[in-house]
Homo-oligomer: A and B are copies of this chain.
Amino acid sequence: MAPLLGLCVFLFATTACLGREATFKKPPKLVESKYGSVWPVPQAIQISEVSFELHSSNFEITHSAKSSAGPRCFLLQEAFRRYFEYIFRLPNTREGYLKKPNSNAVVSQLQVLITSSDPECDGYPNFKSDESYTLVVDQPISLLTAANVWGALRGLETFSQLVYQDDNGMHQINKTNIKDFPRFQHRGILLDSSRHFLPLKVILANLDAMAMNKFNVFHWHIVDDQSFPYQSTAFPDLSDKGSYHPYTHVYTHMDVKIVIEYARLRGIRVIPEFDTPGHTQSWGFGQKDLLTTCYSGVAPSGTYGPVNPILNTTYDFMSVLFKEVSSVFPDAYVHLGGDEVDFTCWKSNPDIQTFMDEQGFGKDYSKLESFYIAKILDIVAQTGKGYMVWQEVFDNNVKLRPDAVVEVWMENKVEEELNKVTSAGFPTILSAPWYLDYISYGQDWQKYYRVEPLKFNGTDEQKKLVIGGEACLWGEYVDATNLMSRLWPRASAVAERLWSSEDVTNLNDAYSRLTVHRCRMVKRGVRAQPLFVGHCDYEYEGL
């Protein structure tokens, strides 16, 4: 019943071609990694052979006496509780029995020391947040040191990943030294809540999984052609008429607040995307004259195209909308889209033709697109926000602010594009190789893992402008039923590429750790699918 050779040529992962006969060890023999099962691998880590015990009755995560943060730091208090639960309180982490109580050395405290005068307990993570930390696992007291809460969160995740249970169920941790920081600042996941509405609890569950993988940006592609689930205070008709259902398939301001706070507590930024002028069909249902009327010959055809760029009312509307968006979403950046504008409808519309003539654009509709985008960028700049855009906006020579972030998504000529964008001096994030909605048979995580974001011709200065990347899960074929299992652990491959050192590239080592990491996610309630044959001690218990 093996795959036929004919199929293999279409597959990326070579293991897929090896077929069913290739593995029959019991259990699949995993390479022992010198990194334990930590994912992503820290920048510097030494794990000793010496192990200590942890007992839930005699273990606490607590503020160091010297820390600038204390029990009033709600964010850390929540994190202490969360990680205590991950370690001891999950249904499947019940403790083993001690044969000889305290026969071995015991870690009874993890002290968290925040060194900066402002721990940022009540702040939001931002594009400059310091996520570095050091972790010294020793007995009886281990110490996690970070400049502020963002590094502490990353260190807590690492600490929790170092804990394992022996055959008797006893919690153990090895003497360990870690000095860690992310290689790239921007490590994002894009979810699309327009092609399918994503219930809040799926979004929150995904934020949990992101934290387990040290992702720090939730790029929320919140609206698109298919539906407009964002409930706007200024323009309630947008979701009333443009969502799949005005009550059950919308995000209220309260929903959005919950997502933002849940993300903040995990050190994750929420960057909303309001993509224009294309990808806006759903906007038209709730906002009259916003979209361009398409013509068939001399008469309107009854269909609509991209946002109408020649009306003042368009910009009045956008000013009010983006003012609201900029106050609802605290992050310093908004994503403005700007991709895939189809000119067919603009070309058919006589008013637009007249406008093109007046402006001297000739027949070059990309000039009209740039005209529109430039105005939108001005509008958003006035709200005090920075912006991200898809690469077409740069490609079309729209004048961008120097801090504008360009997202490279087109799969062809990625290296050339990275060179161009960075040589023009713009911060850049890479998503082209990480469109995780494209699925294929086999271990495609390896393909995502092999990507090297800085592999393009450019100076050191240019390379510094590549601030990170995003794994994108577009929503055409994804909703609450399959989002989590489709995204995880495939996105984990991207997580390690963006966090760990450039030389962390060993696929066998990665496979071993990721297999354990995936079972750990499953144990924590994340519906992460298997990498390949094998088992978890605790299989997923849901349906």
Seen from chain A, the residues whose Cβ lies within 8 Å of a Cβ on chain B are 1-4, 6-7, 10, 20-21, 23-28, 195-197, 199, 201-202, 205, 224-227, 242, 244-245, 248-249, 278-279, 281-282, 285, 339-340, 342, 390, 409-412, 435, 437-442, 472, 474-482, 484-486, 522, 525, 527-535, 537-543
Contacts and interface: CB of A to CB of B under 8 A. Distances in A.
B441 A481 contact: no
A38 to B, nearest CB: 22
Interface of A (DSSP majority class): loop
A23 to B, nearest CB: 7
A4 B170 CA distance: 52
Contacts of A26: 226-227, 242, 244, 281-282, 285
Contact of A21 (B6, B342, B411): B342
Contact of A542 (B285, B412, B542): B542
13 contacts: A1-B340, A20-B340, A21-B278, A23-B226, A26-B242, A199-B539, A205-B543, A226-B533, A227-B535, A245-B535, A437-B441, A479-B530, A481-B529
Nearest to A340: B2
Minimum-distance CB pairs A-B, first 5: A24-B225, A24-B281, A244-B535, A482-B485, A480-B540
A535 to B, nearest CB: 4
Nearest to A304: B24
A129 B7 CA distance: 37
B485 A481 contact: yes
A525 B480 CA distance: 12
A143 to B, nearest CB: 35
A275 to B, nearest CB: 9
Contacts of A23: 225-226
So how many copies of this chain end up in the complex?
A: 2
A1 B244 contact: no
Given A477-B532, A525-B543, A7 B202 contact: no
A227 B282 CA distance: 51
Nearest to A202: B543
Contacts of A24: 225-226, 281-282
A346 to B, nearest CB: 15
B482 A541 contact: no
B195 A533 contact: yes
A441 B12 CA distance: 13
A340 B20 CA distance: 10
Given A244-B535, A482-B485, A438 B7 contact: yes
Contacts of A537: 245, 248
Contacts of A534: 196, 226, 244
Nearest to A205: B543
A44 B52 CA distance: 71
Contacts of A480: 539-542
Contacts of A202: 543
A353 to B, nearest CB: 23
Given A1-B339, A244-B535, A411 B482 contact: no
Among A202, A226, A532, chain B packs the most CB atoms within 10 A around the CB of: A226
A270 to B, nearest CB: 19
- By CB atoms of chain B within 10 A, which of A23, A227, A537, A543 has the most? A543
Given A226-B24, A411-B7, A527-B543, A441 B441 contact: no
Contacts of A484: 543
Contact of A340 (B21, B199, B475, B532): B21
Contacts of A342: 21
A190 to B, nearest CB: 9
A529 to B, nearest CB: 4
Contacts of A442: 477
